[in-house]
Amino acid sequence: MLSDDEIKHIEKLARIRLDNDAREKFKGQLSDIIEFVRTLQKVDTTGFESEARKRSFKPFLREGRAGGELERDKVLEQAPDTKNGFFKVPPVIDKD
Amino acid sequence: MNNSSYETVIGLEVHAQLLTETKIFCSCKPEYGADPNTRICPVCMGLPGALPVLNRESVTMAIMMGLALRCDIAAVSEFSRKNYFYPDCPKNYQISMYDKPLCKNGFVEIETDNGPRNIRIERIHLEDDAGKMSHETGKDSLVDFNRCGVPLIEIVSRPDIRTGLEAVKYLVRVQQILRYLGICDGNLEEGSMRCDVNISLRPAGSTELGTKTEIKNLNSFKAIEKGVEFEVERQRRVLEEGGSIEQVTNLWDADSGRLVMMRSKEEANDYRYFPEPDLLPLEVDGEWIDGVRDMIPELPLEKERRFREEYMLSNYDSGVLCAEKGIADYFEIVAESTGLAKKSANWVMREIMRALKNLGCAIETFPVEPEKLAGLIALVEDGIISGSAGQDVFAEMIKSGADPKEVVKKLGLEQISDSSELENMVDSIIAAHPEEGERYREGKKKLLGFFVGQVMRESRGKANPELARNILIKKLGS
Ligand SMILES: [Zn+2]
């Protein structure tokens, strides 16, 4: 079972805030998912190669031909707030 | 406690923007200084449904750097998602390489007081850049997404660096190599090359690493050297007072010359890396690597070595000439056509570099072509013009880009090396100064300089001074 601190950490990472009821509910659901994966991990896979990212063909690579930029007005239309061609967001200082 | 009781351990992370035609995962054209938000598309904006396609050129450039730093190139590497929320990143994740980087285990050689030393490279990987924020204190922040998706290589060193000065030497080398390869313009102020520094102290002789702190936002070599010194001193004081180092990230504030704490470990991000599901693993075969190897020019260190051997130049001269590939190439053309390496080196290091600084231009657009400079040096060496006339001719060549011989003719600067003409001139000068001649003959030999000066004045600087001297000695008698 996930701890309350772990749930709070996940809330923080996902930028959401849960009330106590919701926290209890998701604690159960998230723990179930982790339990499910834990069960899968018990299967003995020695001798099998991982197929999660099996390469069946060479990846397609792009040659550099410029173009396809969007019109700025159209892009900014989607934003809640703009200023002089910039997206405007609440003040932030802390940077990863 | 004395200064030698702790050893400083420094590791560097360098981010270099690659000069590709298009961004790493889309066809937008990167352009520094473009109007905000005019170089963006659904892919680099992370709009729903848009899919990244890797740019071949960015991989080629990353392999170039890997080979230049003697790394192993991975046959298969993989992109991962590094998840974080910040307004400069519209996808909410950076596409980077995590456990399977493209290049591993290289080194960069630097000069130290104790001779050359290798700084090991842990890895070089590809990733996409984030957008650019501008902050106004207390007001809203503004975001420009043009930089989103510009290809970066991150070059991670091992903790082999011991001082701020060594850090700078390492970075200068890395910058030089990036520029020689033509894959990054290496501009710290504009941010096309960025540097984060990890610093820790440990008791001298210990092999364990102490707790490290990180400094970001170092946008000049001076800031890097000062920032490192500042943080080393701070850590030393804490340790000497019996305290312990907290794992923090600091921002360098260039205005105040101080470090500002940005984030402590408790708030450290949890990036939840996982394999990027929208991209297949990157396969690089031997043919590709060999092709890239052929594209790598002679690198600065090899060039410096060759200049010392081939042209018999000093460490200092070859270092200055090879700092920029364009300058080194220019010098070589001059040296080859004059056959006078040291003279050519002096001209390039003094006159050319001073002129470049004054004009604020690059060697590639400098108006005097190397062949013409060689012509000028030859005119001075052959005694056709005097050394000081050479300076005048050079100044005129910078203005007009003209051939030195034409300039000499135009300015009437040809040196008088015809002895009969000079002899006549000397005769009349001696006749005009009988008193000085008398004193010279009485032993005041220093007056020879006075007579040479008179000849130079009479000839308006065009007399060959060596020839004038000899004629004067002969005619003044003893
Ligand atoms: Zn784009």
Q: Check CB contact of A64 with chain B, cutoff 8 Å.
A: yes
My answer on whether B396 and B323 are in the same domain is yes
Pairing of strands B282-283, B115-128: unpaired
3-state DSSP call for residue B471? helix
Residue B422, pLDDT above cutoff 50: yes
Distance from CA of B409 to the nearest CA of A (A): 51
| Smallest CA–CA distance from B38 into chain A, residue | A72
Q: What is the pLDDT of residues B431-441, one digit of tens each?
A: 999 999 999 99
Which residue among A68, A85, A96 sits closest to B27, beta carbon to beta carbon?
A68
B445 within a domain of the structure (yes/no): yes
B25 within a domain of the structure (yes/no): yes
Q: Mark which of B292, B319, B351 sits at the end of a domain.
A: B292
B262 with A63: Cβ contact below 8 A: no
Q: What is the pLDDT of residues A14-72, one digit of tens each?
A: 888 999 999 999 999 999 999 999 999 999 988 887 766 666 556 678 887 788 899 99
My answer on whether B271 and B343 are in the same domain is no
B100 within a domain of the structure (yes/no): yes
- Residues B335, B313: contact at Cβ < 8 Å? no
Residue B78, pLDDT above cutoff 80: yes
Rounded CA-CA distance B369/B334 in Å is 9
CA A12 → CA A2, A21, B91, B388, B398, distances in Å? Answer: 15, 17, 18, 73, 63
Among B36-40, B231-235, B419-423, the range scoring the smallest mean pLDDT is: B419-423
Pick from B209, B203, B198, B197: which is nearest to B239 by CA? Answer: B203
Q: Check CB contact of A62 with chain B, cutoff 8 Å.
A: yes
- Residues B119, B110: contact at Cβ < 8 Å? yes
Rounded CA-CA distance B105/B209 in Å is 20
A96 with B86: Cβ contact below 8 A: yes
My answer on whether B324 and B279 are in the same domain is no
pLDDT of residue A14: 85
Rounded CA-CA distance B199/B12 in Å is 9
**pLDDT averaged over every residue in chain B:** 91
My answer on whether B175 and B257 are in the same domain is yes
Residue B310, pLDDT above cutoff 90: yes
Q: Mark which of B274, B292, B310 sits at the end of a domain.
A: B292
Q: Check CB contact of A86 with chain B, cutoff 8 Å.
A: yes
3-state DSSP call for residue B108? strand
Chain A residue numbers touching B20 (CB-CB < 8 A): 64
pLDDT of residue B199: 95
Distance from CA of A74 to the nearest CA of B (A): 10
The residue type found at B122 is E
At residue B348 the predicted structure's pLDDT band, cuts being 50, 70 and 90, is: very high
B256 within a domain of the structure (yes/no): yes
Q: Which domain holds residue B459?
A: 419-477
- Residues B331, B348: contact at Cβ < 8 Å? yes
- Residues B186, B125: contact at Cβ < 8 Å? no
Interface test with B, best of A61, A76, A81 (most B CBs within 10 A): A61
3-state DSSP call for residue A13? helix
Handedness of CA B40, B46, B48, B50 (dihedral sign): positive
Rounded CA-CA distance B387/B464 in Å is 10
B21 with A64: Cβ contact below 8 A: yes
Rounded CA-CA distance A40/B309 in Å is 65
My answer on whether B235 and B307 are in the same domain is no
Q: What is the pLDDT of residues B127-171, one digit of tens each?
A: 999 999 887 766 788 999 999 999 999 999 999 999 999 999 999
- What one-character DSSP code corresponds to residue B385? S
Interface test with B, best of A13, A15, A62, A72 (most B CBs within 10 A): A62
My answer on whether B272 and B309 are in the same domain is no
| Smallest CA–CA distance from B276 into chain A, residue | A53
Residue B209, pLDDT above cutoff 90: no
Give CB contacts under 8 A, 24+ apart, made by B420-423: B422/B455, B422/B459, B422/B463, B422/B464, B422/B467, B422/B468, B422/B471, B423/B471, B423/B475
Chain A residue numbers touching B56 (CB-CB < 8 A): 61-64
Write down the pTM of the prediction. Answer: 0.85
B319 within a domain of the structure (yes/no): yes
- CB proximity list for B109: less than 8 A, separation 6 or greater: B116, B117, B118, B119, B173, B301
Q: What is the pLDDT of residues B240-258, one digit of tens each?
A: 998 888 888 888 887 787 8
Give the Å distance between the CA of B27 and the centre of ligand 1.
6
- Residues B406, B412: contact at Cβ < 8 Å? no
ipTM of the complex, rounded to two decimals: 0.83
Q: What is the pLDDT of residues B80-135, one digit of tens each?
A: 999 988 899 999 999 999 999 999 999 999 988 888 999 999 999 999 999 998 87
Rounded CA-CA distance B467/B164 in Å is 55
The residue type found at B26 is C
Alpha helix stretches (DSSP H) within chain A = 4-14, 20-41, 72-77
CA B86 → CA A42, B36, B116, distances in Å? Answer: 37, 18, 42
My answer on whether B122 and B204 are in the same domain is yes
Q: Check CB contact of A68 with chain B, cutoff 8 Å.
A: yes
- Residues B160, B119: contact at Cβ < 8 Å? yes
pLDDT of residue A95: 47
Give the Å distance between the CA of B89 and the centre of ligand 1.
13
Rounded CA-CA distance B91/B149 in Å is 10
My answer on whether B104 and B175 are in the same domain is yes
Pick from B381, B406, B383, B386: which is nearest to B396 by CA? Answer: B406
My answer on whether B167 and B125 are in the same domain is yes
B463 within a domain of the structure (yes/no): yes
Which residue among B20, B37, B136 sits closest to A72, beta carbon to beta carbon?
B37
My answer on whether B394 and B436 are in the same domain is no
Q: Mark which of B244, B262, B292 sits at the end of a domain.
A: B292
Pick from B369, B358, B361: which is nearest to B400 by CA? Answer: B369
Pick from B189, B190, B94, B87: which is nearest to B143 by CA? Answer: B87
B153 within a domain of the structure (yes/no): yes
Q: Could you tell me what percent of chain A has a pLDDT over 70?
A: 86
Rounded CA-CA distance B223/B227 in Å is 6
Rounded CA-CA distance B39/B30 in Å is 7
- Residues B54, B95: contact at Cβ < 8 Å? no
First to last CA, chain A: 30
3-state DSSP call for residue B14? strand
Give the Å distance between the CA of B354 and the centre of ligand 1.
42
Q: Could you tell me what percent of chain B has a pLDDT over 90?
A: 69
Rounded CA-CA distance B163/B229 in Å is 8
Q: Could you tell me what percent of chain B has a pLDDT over 70?
A: 97
pLDDT of residue A68: 85
Residue B459, pLDDT above cutoff 90: no
Pick from B155, B158, B156, B161: which is nearest to B117 by CA? Answer: B161
CA B63 → CA B193, B294, B304, B313, distances in Å? Answer: 18, 12, 24, 33
Chain A residue numbers touching B216 (CB-CB < 8 A): 95
Count Cβ atoms below 10 Å from residue B477 Cβ, excluding itself.
9
Which CATH number fits the domain that encloses residue B437? 1.10.10.410
Partners of B202 in the β-ladder: B7
Which residue among B21, B84, B279 sits closest to A96, beta carbon to beta carbon?
B84
pLDDT of residue B382: 83
B283 with A70: Cβ contact below 8 A: no
The residue type found at B33 is G
My answer on whether B327 and B460 are in the same domain is no
Give the Å distance between the CA of A67 and the centre of ligand 1.
9
Partners of B398 in the β-ladder: none
B1 within a domain of the structure (yes/no): no
Rounded CA-CA distance A85/A74 in Å is 11
My answer on whether B342 and B471 are in the same domain is no
Tally of domains in chain B: 3
